[in-house]
Chains A and B, each alone.
Chain A
Amino acid sequence: SQTIHQWPATLVQPVGSPLSLECTVEGTSNPNLYWYRQAAGRGLQLLFYSVGIGQISSEVPQNLSASRPQDRQFILSSKKLLLSDSGFYLCAGDSGDSTDTQYFGPGTRLTVL
């Protein structure tokens, strides 16, 4: 079965500081990987998805970026955080087949002050 790891669990950062969140996957080869953000009281917003190494698709314009340097590693970054970047960041993966079944990591709660 697939296991998604994320760290850190919580993060408090000042406005204008950089960000790097890491996600790793166990148990599946060639997974599709996803970054979501969940703001307080709102639904899940898909930020990026990746179908393979170096392949990134962005769903919304923003000051965040994503990279996939290895098959089972997905990184979310920012050069300068905004207050509006606060939220619960979730990495998810699926098996890469057509079943669409996604499993989530434990998430990172980011507060930008």
Chain B
Amino acid sequence: QKEVEQNSGPLSVPEGAIASLNCTYSDRGSQSFFWYRQYSGKSPELIMFIYSNGDKEDGRFTAQLNKASQYVSLLIRDSQPSDSATYLCAVGAGSYQLTFGKGTKLSVIP
């Protein structure tokens, strides 16, 4: 059974700091990796995707993928209170389905 593991948190960081969110997955055949942000009571919003080993940067967000270690992470630089949300890691294997982690709750303290 495919599994995606995330620390549930809450992860608390001060405003302006770097928030580091981590995710591990069990399926070595995984090909695509996603980070979604979900505000309380709202639906998940796609913020980053990565397919190749290494780093991918988009504004304040950097996704990091290490397929050998089956590990994907999301770094948020200059964290803002508006970044406070639950972050979902999702992994795909090209078979129409994504496997989601249960999410890490991030709290950015002003």
Contacts and interface: CB of A to CB of B under 8 A. Distances in A.
Q: Do A and B come from one complex?
A: yes
Interface of A: 32, 34, 42-44, 46, 49, 51, 90, 94, 98-107, 109
Residue from A49, A104, A105, A106 whose CB has the most chain B CB atoms within 10 Å: A104
B43 A107 contact: yes
Interface string B67-104: 00000000000000000000010101110111011110
A12 to B, nearest CB: 16
Given A90-B43, A90-B44, A106-B43, A101 B100 contact: no
A32 to B, nearest CB: 5
Interface size, B (range): 20 to 34
A43 B102 contact: yes
Residue from A32, A46, A99 whose CB has the most chain B CB atoms within 10 Å: A99
Nearest to A50: B96
Contacts, number: 49
A52 to B, nearest CB: 11
A90 B49 CA distance: 20
A106 B41 CA distance: 10
Interface of B: 31-32, 34, 36, 41-46, 49, 51, 88, 90, 92-94, 96-98, 100-103
20 contacts: A34-B97, A43-B88, A43-B100, A43-B103, A46-B97, A49-B97, A51-B96, A90-B43, A98-B94, A99-B51, A100-B92, A100-B93, A100-B94, A101-B34, A102-B46, A104-B36, A104-B43, A105-B43, A106-B42, A109-B41
A99 B51 CA distance: 9
B93 to A, nearest CB: 8
Nearest to B31: A100
